[in-house]
Amino acid sequence: MAVARAASLTAFALLAPLLGIAEPDDRPPCVRTFVVMAGDVDSAHARAGDSFPIKTVDPARAPNGTMIPAGTMGFGVVAISQHAERGGRGGYVVIETRFLALPGEHVPVTIDWTTEARASATGASRNIPGFVGAIPFVGYVLGPYGFIHHGKDVTIARDTRIPVLIGDDVVAGACRIVPPTPAPSPSALPSPSPSPAGSPSASPIPSARPITG
């Protein structure tokens, strides 16, 4: 009986991908929270390996049960930084969060790249649109300009909110990343029902009176 059951499970595991059936994932969901940049990271000045401060937005609980208060400070590092250069190449910067600093303990935090688009940024090229080169005699000017002019540097600014996953579980593959539930759009919210005809309306709340001497 056990042999037959094992054979059935093996056959299901082999056929599930072919049939488009996802195998159940019984790992616990990863713990997500938000941090904010506590300083700027500018591609004009940052170098790979530079550190920067972060802090938590809301209180959270790590997978091991450790409580993390709101406003807990931590650090990240600049993973990639390229300055703006000639030829219209814009600046480029990518950051990584590393840990939150609690008394006697560092709690790892990893950027949730499934929902984050603000932990990397590319500066504009400032290039002139290509169709301008079709204008007679203008091409003679665009050639030197395209070589000399710089692109734009870019900044990941202070107070930028970044979603992170708490703990080492995500790195070890011990948790599953669950997409956050999107907030309902205003059109999906129920509209207030009209008051029955003849029913008394609520009395207006009196405005606060100034305190006089």
Convert 22-52 to b/e letters by CB count within 10 Å (16 or more is b): eeeeeeeebbbbebebeeebbbeebeeeeeb
In percent, the amount of the chain with pLDDT more than 70 equals: 55
Q: Is the predicted pLDDT of residue 143 greater than 90, yes or no?
A: no
pTM (2 decimals)?
Answer: 0.62
Query: Per-residue pLDDT for 12 more than 60?
Result: no
User: Using one digit for the tens of pLDDT, what is the confidence trace for 177-209?
Assistant: 887 776 555 555 555 555 555 545 444 444 444
Mean pLDDT of 107-115: 90
pLDDT tens per residue, range 27-82: 999 999 999 999 999 988 999 999 999 999 999 999 989 999 999 999 999 998 88
Range with lowest mean pLDDT among 30-44, 46-60, 89-103, 123-137: 123-137
Nearest-angstrom CA–CA distance, 172 and 163:
19
pLDDT at 145 > cutoff 50? no
